[in-house]
Amino acid sequence: MVSAIERMEILLLVAAVVSMIARRFRLPYTVGLVFAGIIMAAFPAARVELTKDLIFTAFLPPLIFEAALQMKWKELKREMPVTLTLATIGVLLSAALIACGIHYGLGLDWSSSILVAVLISATDPVAVVAMFRDLGIRGRLGMLMESESLFNDGTAAVLFVIALASATGQAPTAIGVVGSFLKIALGGIVGGALVGGAALLLVGRTKDHLLEITFTTIAAYASFLLAEHFQASGVLATLTAGMLVGNVGVLSERGEEAVETFWEYIGFVANSLIFLLIGLSLDFRELSVVWLPALLLVGLMMGGRALAVYACCAAFLKSRFRVSFREQHVLFWGGLRGALALALVLGLPERFPNREYILNIVFAVVAFSVVVQGLTIAPLLRGLGICDPRAKDC
* Residue segments in the chain with a per-residue pLDDT below the cut of 50: none
For residues 147 and 28, what is the distance between their CA atoms, to the nearest angstrom? 21
For residues 250 and 267, what is the distance between their CA atoms, to the nearest angstrom? 22
Per-residue pLDDT, 51: 85
Question: 215-264: per-residue pLDDT in tens?
Answer: 999 999 999 999 999 989 999 999 999 999 999 888 888 989 999 999 99
Per-residue pLDDT, 42: 78
Per-residue pLDDT, 262: 96
For residues 100 and 133, what is the distance between their CA atoms, to the nearest angstrom? 34
Return the DSSP state at 251: S
For residues 358 and 356, what is the distance between their CA atoms, to the nearest angstrom? 5
Q: Quick check: helix, strand or coil at residue 171?
A: coil
Q: Which residue, among 228, 236, 194, has the nearest Cα to 347 in the 3D structure?
A: 228
Per-residue pLDDT, 294: 92
Residue 173: alpha-carbon gap to chain centroid: 29
Are 287 and 240 in contact, with CB atoms under 8 Å apart? no
Question: 274-333: per-residue pLDDT in tens?
Answer: 899 898 888 877 788 888 999 999 999 999 999 999 999 999 999 999 999 999 999 999
Instruction: Identify residue 58 by its one-letter amino acid code.
Output: A
Per-residue pLDDT, 353: 83
Cα→Cα distances 359→174, 236, 273, Å:
29, 25, 21
Q: H or E element: which one contains 144?
A: helix 139-167
Q: Which residue, among 219, 227, 63, has the nearest Cα to 146 in the 3D structure?
A: 63
Note the pTM of the prediction, 2 decimals: 0.88
Per-residue pLDDT, 389: 53
Return the DSSP state at 122: S
Return all residues near 181 (Cβ < 8 A) that are at least 6 apart.
154, 158
Per-residue pLDDT, 340: 84
DSSP letters of 5-42? HHHHHHHHHHHHHHHHHHHHTT--HHHHHHHHHHHHTT
Per-residue pLDDT, 388: 60
DSSP letters of 315-384? TTTTSTT---HHHHHHHHHT----HHHHHHHHTS-TT-TTHHHHHHHHHHHHHHIIIIIHHHHHHHHHHH
